[in-house]
């Protein structure tokens, strides 16, 4: 059904001219709100509606996602599968950027000849080279959705800016000045100094009243195909040790949105002090007063609510970024120390997060856009 709706939309626009101030683009596994809502775009779209800024929201299909498709987005399915088909036809000697730019030129000629836009805002750098080729005069943005650090190769590695950003002249929309400082201080040139726009956190504000401390621990799992089998197993082993060492604590395991059975969970769920949990994060934290993870961005969301985090310590650079990059004040606190000094730990985490998740600024968002 989504495929045919997508087909109809783009064939109709072969004959129908339309201009948009903004094209929003996202894979549908980011639809993590109620009824398939994309919470990352929610505030940005609300501002568009308030200011009469024209926009269209294209949604990319993601086969392995269990999240619902958005009812407010235009399915990009037809164009997406056309792109996948063309990627297989083009020579492997070309770079990914060169391939997608050739495809973008083709799509512009066939389906975007009558569609124009001033700004393109995507998540996870999806389709940047394609849309750069469709409209080189548009301003391209990548909206922050996860961690950023000095050696995250999709942003920066050994001081060099990732080609997908630099060659497509992409601007970053960031949650806080702390993330911009990390990029600016670790790059070899001044790309990020000019290409980072701090607009604040775009996630909805939560009406949250923390309960009294308890020994319930929310575990933000990170078993995904982003990691090698060995890395996933290292995380599993570290978690298993934590559960065994703290058998008077109860552990509530929350899966990553892209978990696809990378680890056998029966090892954990068979333990008497372990259960699984899902639903809204704030509801989870009404049950659990401590958070445990490897390097999930839930650390930031927990800190905003005054929930302190403890960490699975693994000898791996990217899994220790909350110590090496973010200077999280409780990084070396184990669960027992956090429980013993709970109020102090809660206060420290709330103070720490202020430079990374600032209040959303509608004015800064509007100022960043190409008029």
Write out the H or E segment, with its range, that includes residue 19.
Answer: strand 18-27
The pair of structure tokens assigned to 294 is: 């490897």
Determine the Cα–Cα distance for residues 126 and 35; give it in Å rounded to an integer: 23
On the question of pLDDT at 223 being above 90, the answer is no
Summarised one tens digit per residue, pLDDT across range 157-172 is 999 999 999 999 999 9
**How many CA atoms does the CB half-sphere of 33 hold within 13 Å?**
13
Backbone angles phi, psi at 219, to 5 degrees: -110, 115
For position 57, what pLDDT does the model report? 98
CA angle 37, 70, 221 (to 5 degrees): 55
Q: What is the mean pLDDT of residues 240-254?
A: 95
Cα(176)–Cα(203) distance, integer angstroms: 13
Q: What is the pLDDT of residue 206?
A: 73
**pLDDT single digits (tens) 26-37:** 999 888 887 778
> C-alpha distances in angstroms, 116 versus 18, 50, 120?
6, 22, 11
pLDDT at 85: 97
Is pLDDT of 205 > 80?
no
**Distance from C-alpha of 23 to C-alpha of 55, rounded to nearest angstrom:** 6
Residues 6+ apart with CB under 8 A from 340: none
Please say if the pLDDT value at position 203 is more than 90: no
Condensed to tens digits (0 to 9), the pLDDT of residues 45-85 reads 999 999 999 999 999 998 877 788 988 999 999 999 999 99
d(C-alpha 20, C-alpha 96), whole Å: 27
Residue 198 has pLDDT above 90, yes or no: yes
Is the pLDDT at 207 greater than 90, yes or no? Answer: no
**Pairwise CA distance, residues 61 & 68, whole Å:** 10
Looking only at the bridges linking them, the beta strands covering 18-27 and 290-293 are unpaired
CATH C-level class of 2-204+360-368: alpha beta
- High-pLDDT (> 70) share of the chain, %: 99
Task: Work out the pLDDT band at 102, boundaries 50, 70, 90.
Answer: very high
255 and 223 Cβ atoms separated by less than 8 Å: yes
CA 145: distance to chain centroid?
A: 3
Q: How far apart are CA 14 and CA 113, in angstroms?
A: 7
Question: What average pLDDT does the segment 234-252 reach?
Answer: 94
Q: How far is C-alpha 201 from the geometric centre of its chain's CA atoms?
A: 12
pLDDT higher than threshold 90 for residue 344: yes
Q: What integer is the mean pLDDT of 319-339?
A: 94
Sheet containing 250-254: give its strands across: 274-276, 250-254, 216-220, 290-293, 309-311
How much is the pTM?
A: 0.86
Question: What confidence tier does 99 reach under pLDDT thresholds 50, 70, 90?
Answer: very high
DSSP category for residue 53: -
Could you read off the pLDDT of 257-309 as tens digits, one per residue? 888 888 888 888 899 999 999 988 889 999 999 999 999 999 999 999 999 99
pLDDT at 368 over 90: yes
Domain locations in the chain as residue ranges? 2-204+360-368, 216-355
Domain 216-355 belongs to what architecture? 3-Layer(aba) Sandwich (3.40)
Half-sphere exposure of 185 (CA within 13 A, CB side): 10
Query: Is there a common fold for 2-204+360-368 and 216-355?
Result: yes
Structure tokens at 351: 């103070």
pLDDT of residue 262: 86
Counting Cβ atoms within 10 Å, is residue 214 exposed (0-12), middle (13-18) or buried (19+)? middle
Of the listed ranges 60-69, 87-96, 122-131, 336-345, the least confidently predicted one is 60-69
Is-contact 311 293, C-beta < 8 A?
A: yes
192-216 mean pLDDT: 86
Question: What confidence category does residue 103 fall into, taking pLDDT thresholds of 50, 70 and 90?
Answer: very high
Average pLDDT for 218-233? 90
């Amino acid at each position: 059904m989504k495929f045919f709706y997508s087909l109809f939309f783009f064939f109709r626009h072969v004959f129908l001219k339309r201009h948009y101030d903004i094209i929003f683009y996202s894979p549908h596994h980011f639809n993590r709100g109620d009824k398939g809502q994309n919470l990352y775009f929610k505030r940005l779209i609300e501002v568009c509606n308030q200011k009469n800024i024209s926009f269209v929201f294209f949604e990319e299909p993601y086969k392995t996602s269990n999240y619902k498709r958005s009812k407010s987005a235009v399915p990009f399915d037809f164009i997406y599968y056309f792109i996948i088909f063309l990627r297989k036809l083009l020579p492997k000697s070309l770079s990914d950027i060169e391939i997608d730019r050739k495809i973008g030129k083709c799509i512009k000629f066939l389906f975007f000849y009558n569609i124009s836009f001033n700004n393109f805002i995507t998540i996870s750098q999806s389709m940047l080279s394609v849309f750069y080729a469709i409209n080189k005069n548009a301003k391209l943005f990548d909206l922050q959705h996860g961690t950023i650090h000095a050696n995250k190769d999709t942003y920066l590695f050994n001081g060099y800016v990732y080609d997908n950003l630099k060659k497509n002249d992409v601007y970053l929309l960031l949650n806080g000045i702390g993330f911009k400082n990390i990029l600016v201080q670790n790059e070899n040139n001044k790309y990020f100094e000019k290409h980072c726009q701090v607009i604040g956190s775009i996630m909805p504000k939560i009406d949250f009243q923390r309960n009294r401390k308890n020994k319930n621990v929310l575990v933000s799992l990170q078993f995904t195909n982003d990691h090698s089998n060995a890395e996933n197993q290292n995380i599993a082993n570290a978690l298993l040790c934590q559960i065994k060492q703290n058998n008077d604590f109860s552990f509530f395991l929350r899966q990553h949105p892209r978990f696809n059975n990378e680890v056998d969970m029966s090892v954990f769920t068979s333990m008497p002090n372990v259960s699984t949990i899902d639903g809204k994060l704030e509801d989870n934290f009404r049950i659990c007063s401590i958070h445990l993870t490897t390097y999930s961005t839930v650390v930031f969301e927990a800190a905003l609510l005054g929930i302190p985090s403890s960490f699975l310590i693994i000898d791996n650079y990217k899994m220790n970024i909350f110590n090496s990059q973010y200077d999280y004040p409780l990084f070396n606190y184990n669960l027992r120390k956090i429980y013993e000094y709970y109020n102090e730990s809660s206060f420290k985490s709330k103070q720490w997060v202020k430079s990374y998740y600032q209040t959303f600024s509608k004015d800064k968002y509007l100022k960043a856009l190409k008029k």
